[in-house]
Amino acid sequence: MRYCFFILSLILLILTTQGCDSGKESKSASVNEKVSDECMVYPNVVDSLNLQGLYDSARVALFTWHCDMPYRPKDDSLKNMTFGQLELKFDHLITKSDTIEFTFNFYDGDKVVIATGLRDVITMNTGVGYDRKTRTKIYMSSPDGFVIYQKGGNNRFENPFQPEVLNYINNNLSKLNPCFRKLVSTKK
């Protein structure tokens, strides 16, 4: 009788423990899903012009361009992060007759990351311009007016998922900004 009671208690203990663990996992999963869903909410101007695909493309371009670059602000010399871990928030959209440009800012907590406040970054791209008709990327821009466009060769401008970017993503997946991780999972 004692033996049966012991086995029954053990089974209940195991089931209870598994139930508690699975509850924690489901809570964690629901938090991750919530963050993931928030990443796919578009600004009204993007929705109204039906530019969701270009918006996501611009975010991927900026994240992959900077993802493995160290972020070490002057005001916190102990902080050791990369841009792939920072938040990227929409700033504004500029439409011209033949061009659409999305502008974003990287954030460290609630403060905007500015290139002049960084030790290791001279120019930081925060904008991506697209040809309005063909919807192809034509340039990347920085707040100080510097513009990058590259044609030919193997580069991050034409193919954001270069081997070093994929290596960075695979080695830092758990540390990545949740929106970057979501965008990468849909693009790879």
Residue with tokens 């008709």: 133
Predicted local confidence at residue 8, as pLDDT: 36
Distance, CA of 92 to CA of 46 (rounded, Å): 10
| Better-predicted residue by pLDDT, 96 or 151 | 96
Distance, CA of 157 to CA of 120 (rounded, Å): 21
Name residues whose C-beta falls within 8 Å of residue 105's C-beta, 6 or more positions apart in sequence. Answer: 88, 89, 91, 112, 113, 126
Q: Are 177 and 85 within 8 A, CB to CB?
A: yes
Name residues whose C-beta falls within 8 Å of residue 135's C-beta, 6 or more positions apart in sequence. Answer: 53, 54
Predicted local confidence at residue 136, as pLDDT: 94
- pLDDT per position as a tens digit, 111-163: 888 764 454 555 688 999 999 999 999 999 988 778 888 777 788 998 999 99
Predicted local confidence at residue 78, as pLDDT: 74
How far out from the chain centre does Cα 139 lie?
20
Helix (H, G, I), strand (E, B) or coil at 100: strand
Helix (H, G, I), strand (E, B) or coil at 148: strand
Predicted local confidence at residue 3, as pLDDT: 38
Q: What is the mean pLDDT of residues 96-103?
A: 94
Domain boundaries, the chain: 1-39, 43-187
**pLDDT over threshold 60, residue 1:** no
Q: Binning pLDDT at 50, 70 and 90, where does residue 34 land?
A: low
